[in-house]
Structure formats: C-alpha cells, structure tokens
C-alpha cells in the first residue's frame, strides 16, 4: 500500500544473500578526496525525491557525487535482491517499507549505521530499523494514510464535507449519500474510491482495532472493514475490486480526474496530485485532507488524536561498498534523515520522517495545497502504527493476506470463510514454521 506493493522475498533468497557475502573493496579512506556513491531510486522522471536529496546533499558536500540508479517501482525488491546477491547493487539503497527489512538485515545486506543514527536525535520512525541495539537503516520519509476529498463534488451532491469526527460508519453513509446526490446532479462520479491495495482495508483494521495483532494469525479484526467495503461495492458507491483490477484503474486518475469524491490514500499522493495538476493529468478543483475515518468515536474530533497507519521509508548502505565511500554514504544517510532534507522534501510535497512546524509550513506553502485548518490538522496530527511489524514472519503472513484480500473483494468467497482459511494458512504455513 501505497506506492507499489513489493514482491515477497522468500527464505531461500534470504539464504542466497547471506552466502553472497558482504565484503567491501580494500581502499584507503581520504575524507577530502573526490568520491562517488550510487543511490537506488525508481520512476526518476516522475519521482523527484531522489534527485532532490542527491542535489541537496551535494550542495553541501562538493567532493561527493551521488549517482542515481533506476529500478522498476513495481518490482523494486525483487530486482534489488538480485543485484545484492550478484554484487551489483548500488552503495545506498531504499527500504520501501518494513515488509522486507528483516530479510535484508538478517541476510547481512545492510551495514551497521548506529554511529549515524545516534546523531539524529529523537526520530520515532528509527526504532523499526534497530536490531539488538544496532541501527541498520535510517528513515527519510514517514507517510501516513489520510482521507482525500473533493470539496466541489461534495457541494454538487449537497453532502456535508468531513469535519474530523467521522468513524467508518460515517464514511460509509457519506459515500452512499454522495453517490446518490452526484447521480441526481448528472455526475457519473462515485462517492468513494478504494484502490486495490490490501492496505486500503487491512492497514486501517490492524492499526485501529484494539488488540489486533498481525502475527497472531487471528484475523477476525478484519471482518467489519471488509463488510463495509463489500457493502459500498454492492450499492455502487465505489467501483468494484474486479472493475478496478480489470480496467487497471489508477488512484491518481480516479481522484485527480474527479471520478470519486473521496479516497483514502497515503500522504505521498499530495506530491503526485500537485505534479499532475501542473502537467494536466489531473483537473484543477478544490480538495482537502481529513483524518482517516476511525474505529470508534474515542479518537475522532480535532481535540483527539486520530489513529492511522504507515511504514517509514528508509535508506541503508550496501555492506559491499568500497571502504573509501563509507564515510560519504553515512554522511548522506545523516543528511536524508535530518531537518534540512525534511524541509527540502516538504518543498516538493513529500512527507519527511520528522514532521516539524517548519515542514508543515513548507508543504502548505506550495501552490495548490489546501489551506483549511482540517487539512493541516490531518497532515500533522495522528498516531501512526506500522503496517508491517518487523518479524521474520511478516512477509509470509502478508502474502497470505494479500491473496485473501483479492478473494474477499472479488466475491470469490465469503468474508468468514476466507478469513478462516487465511488464519489456518498463516498459522500452519508461516507462523509455526
């Protein structure tokens, strides 16, 4: 969820990574000598964060050149795993989410960067990258899931917009009312759009349901979230999962071209929407951000702190890096996780690992970003829980649940039966292994 969902890295691949070794070139280190480090990225023509970080770092480190190596966004982890095993991976690479961090770290494919991490101060998103008191990556982004909504479509449907007090039942009711109102106004837009990512259901359910535990193998907490999704599909308040998949609907077009009045999505979409408005790939209309709908009223309202989810995005160092490059690579990691890089990222609509008042001001100073108080509240105020708790079982369990997501939303099997099957598979095929 979220940017493209990476493929699962299996145990056999993890073993391959270990066997591949992790030695570096035996080169003398001269801190003043020119040095070039390579950095992994994806979709470089449409994803400016990597160039922004590289250019920002090079501006203050004139002896260092950062070269970008492009990967396919949808197959990033598969390709990175292959390159690490072959010894052709870049010096610094991105950990797109926490799903596969355990595999990279346990496979010996991340350099210990504890000395860099200790200089960062208090960064909550750093904790998942620490193992036995050592840090193996640093976070540079921390997206969270919020509710994007089209103010103009709400007005056309004569439905009151989000006010920060919504539970999922309120959201469901609003999606139905919007669809009815928009049809009456001659619009073909639906009240909501739920993308095909498993995160759109499972991420919220895991984060918000009391005592929910991904690694327990008990998935009953998912039931009400799936039942609401199926209800919205059945009444036509959002496109069906099958329609979205068969027609290859994109969340950017569904919201950006005003095909849906509401859309739960990660904050990374702010940058995409702004860029598409400039290019003409998205319409220009009034939009806003609201907190994600909540499990119950205990976390609703602007006097409370809404609960949502989102994995940090981190960077680590390939342990095969030449010794003469280590200092530069660690300095780069220190930069990307710091406040200067944070403000630079906010300046292109990206949410950094540390959301400060300066970061919020920079992002909301961009042309086209809504200026209402609720949007600012939703962006900066929330409890973020991980979608992928770090564990050797996480990738396997999530693989089972991804299949379950498709089975349920395509109406191939009932919610109860599908979740029972997922529980048995997760416990017997993954957790007990």
Strands of 145-150's sheet, edge to edge? Answer: 190-192, 260-266, 145-150, 287-290
- Of 323, 214, 340, 195, give the one whose Cα is nearest residue 262: 195
Q: Which residues pair with 314 in a beta bridge?
A: 95, 139
| Domain architecture of the chain: domains with CATH | 11-143+311-354 (3.40.190.10), 145-306+388-431 (3.40.190.10)
Residue with tokens 């042309």: 367
Binned at pLDDT 50, 70 and 90, residue 31 comes out as low
pLDDT in tens, 181-238: 999 999 999 999 999 999 999 999 999 999 999 999 999 999 999 999 999 999 999 9
pLDDT in tens, 309-359: 999 999 999 999 999 999 999 999 999 999 999 999 999 999 999 888 889
Identify the burial level of 192 via C-beta atoms within 10 angstroms of its C-beta, where 0-12 means exposed, 13-18 middle and 19 or more buried.
buried
202 token code pair? 């499972």
Binned at pLDDT 50, 70 and 90, residue 23 comes out as very low
If you average pLDDT over every residue of the chain, what do you get? 92
pTM score above 0.85: yes
- pLDDT at residue number 1: 40
Binned at pLDDT 50, 70 and 90, residue 64 comes out as very high
Whether 2 has a pLDDT exceeding 70, the answer reads no
39 within 8 A of 68, measured Cβ to Cβ: yes
Distance CA 241, CA 293 (A): 20
SS3 49: helix
């Amino acid at each position: 969820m979220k940017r493209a969902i990476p493929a699962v890295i299996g145990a056999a691949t993890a073993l391959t990574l270990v066997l591949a070794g992790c030695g570096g070139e035996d080169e003398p280190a001269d801190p003043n000598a020119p040095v070039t480090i390579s950095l992994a990225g994806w979709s470089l023509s449409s994803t400016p964060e990597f160039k922004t970080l590289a250019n920002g770092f090079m501006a203050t480190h004139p002896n260092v050149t950062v070269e970008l190596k492009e990967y396919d966004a949808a197959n990033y982890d598969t390709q990175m795993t292959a390159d690490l095993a072959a010894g052709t991976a870049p010096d610094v690479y991105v950990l797109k989410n926490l799903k596969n961090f355990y595999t990279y770290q346990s496979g010996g494919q991340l350099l210990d960067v504890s000395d860099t991490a200790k200089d960062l101060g208090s960064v909550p998103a750093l904790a998942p990258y620490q193992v036995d008191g050592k840090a193996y990556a640093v976070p540079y982004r921390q997206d969270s899931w919020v509710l994007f909504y089209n103010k103009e479509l709400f007005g056309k449907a004569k439905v009151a917009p989000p006010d920060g007090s919504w539970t999922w039942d309120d959201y469901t009711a609003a999606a139905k009312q919007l669809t009815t109102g928009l049809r009456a106004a001659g619009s073909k837009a639906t009240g909501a759009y739920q993308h095909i990512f498993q995160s759109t259901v499972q991420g919220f359910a895991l984060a918000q349901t009391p005592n929910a535990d991904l690694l327990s193998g008990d998935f009953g907490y998912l039931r009400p979230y799936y039942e609401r999704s199926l209800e919205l599909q059945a009444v036509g308040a959002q496109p069906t999962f099958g329609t979205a998949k068969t027609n290859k609907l994109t969340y950017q077009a569904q919201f950006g071209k005003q095909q849906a009045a509401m859309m739960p999505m990660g904050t990374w979409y702010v940058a995409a929407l702004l860029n598409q408005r400039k290019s003409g790939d998205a319409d220009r209309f009034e939009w806003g951000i609201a907190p994600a709908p909540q499990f119950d009223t205990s976390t609703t309202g602007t006097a409370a702190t809404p609960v949502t989810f989102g994995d940090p995005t981190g960077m680590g160092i390939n342990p095969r890096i030449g010794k003469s490059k280590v200092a530069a690579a660690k300095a780069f990691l220190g930069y990307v996780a710091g406040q200067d890089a944070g403000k630079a990222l906010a300046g292109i609509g990206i949410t950094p690992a540390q959301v400060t008042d300066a970061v919020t001001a920079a992002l909301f100073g961009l042309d086209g970003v809504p200026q209402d108080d609720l949007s600012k509240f939703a962006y900066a105020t929330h409890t973020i829980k991980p979608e992928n708790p770090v564990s050797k079982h996480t990738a396997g369990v999530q693989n089972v649940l991804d299949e379950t997501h498709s089975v349920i939303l395509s109406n191939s099997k009932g919610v109860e039966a599908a979740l029972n099957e997922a529980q048995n598979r997760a416990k017997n095929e993954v957790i007990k292994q």
